[in-house]
Amino acid sequence: MKGKIGLEEHFAVPDTALNPRGTYSDVTWAELKGRLLDLHGERLALMDQHGIEMMVVSLNAPAVQAVPDPKAAVALARQANDALADEVARRPDRFQALAAVAMQDPDAAIAELERAIKDLGFKGVLVNGFSQIGSDPDSAVYYDLPQYRPFWAAVERLGVPFYLHPRSPLPRDARLYAGHPWMMGAAWAFGNETAVHALRLIGSGLFDEHPKLAVVLGHLGENIPFGLWRIDHCNATASKTDGHKARRPIADYVRENFYVTTSGNFSTSALILTMAELGADRVMFSVDWPFEEIAHAATWFDALDIGESDRLKIGRTNAARLLKLAVT
């Protein structure tokens, strides 16, 4: 299929092009770093080769969210957004952008989001999971907390999607994986961490207060679509003190307020199940470049045994509609 649009495609600035400790070897990271810093060379050539018309680019993880000093985090987000805006301006027909924001300072996050959308022309915001704030190395702040309600109000008011991207759990929470490092990162810990964060957002009543919010999850929904029935089944018998604050079943919010992408999850059976649970209108193509291969993602997607109307939706039109992209 020609004309595909990818939504979870990353870049880096020099300050974020560091080896995520314990995830990649130095040799592997050297190649990934080069790919992250490049938009108009190998990346664009592979897009041309595999029918990807546009990438919506975002800052790599954990980046801003791992900077515990709020002022430094705010400065890094602004620096990254300015750098990405310059790159997009070279080829706006091929690249658009999602903003980075420093959730360590909710007021500053609102201000930077508004600048990125209104002044830089960005199409949404991507945040790399929880934020670390202050001197405690194990601090992990999630966005269901009350201090983030004004931020969510701003996202809703601006009418842009919020992409909740994974990051690895901090050492305190990673003890669950002690002795099994193979489960860290994208293999399991990424998705588990992000799914919990997304469910916290729903359970806090966020989408009752802001029903027009649109949240995007990668990797076919970080396993949430596969657990919807059981989540609501178990909560149906929970006591008032144990239950969530949301007014309706969790599945309702996932189907009405969430979108998922195929980034890094090129499983046909998983995609079909996700489409059955959420509908084809809620699924969008992505690669997860440079951590996944464009050729792998595109070849798999183009050969899927699905209807051509669904292929067009997932590959292109869902993203164009959600992000208000100027494509025909």
Say which DSSP state 131 is in.
B
**Do residues 232 and 207 touch, judged by C-beta distance below 8 A?**
no
Report d(CA 18, CA 168) in Å as an integer.
15
CA atoms in the 13 A half-sphere facing the CB of 175: 3
Could you give the residue numbers annotated as active site? 288
Between CA 121 and CA 239 the distance in angstroms is 46
Cβ atoms of 101 and 162 closer than 8 Å: no
Q: How far is CA 186 from the centre of its chain?
A: 13
The answer to whether the peptide bond before residue 211 is cis (omega within 30 degrees of 0) is no
In angstroms, rounded to a whole number, what is the distance separating the alpha carbons of residues 320 and 188? 30
> Which residue type sits at 188?
W
Q: Read out DSSP for 5-52?
A: EEEEEEE--GGG----TTTS-HHHHHHHHHHHH-SSSHHHHHHHHTTE
Sign of CA dihedral 210, 282, 284, 2: negative
Which string of DSSP letters, residue by residue, matches 262-296? -TT---HHHHHHHHHHH-GGGEE----TTTS-HHH
CA atoms within 13 A on the CB side of 285: 30
Q: Is the peptide bond between 249 and the residue preceding it cis, with omega within 30 degrees of 0?
A: no
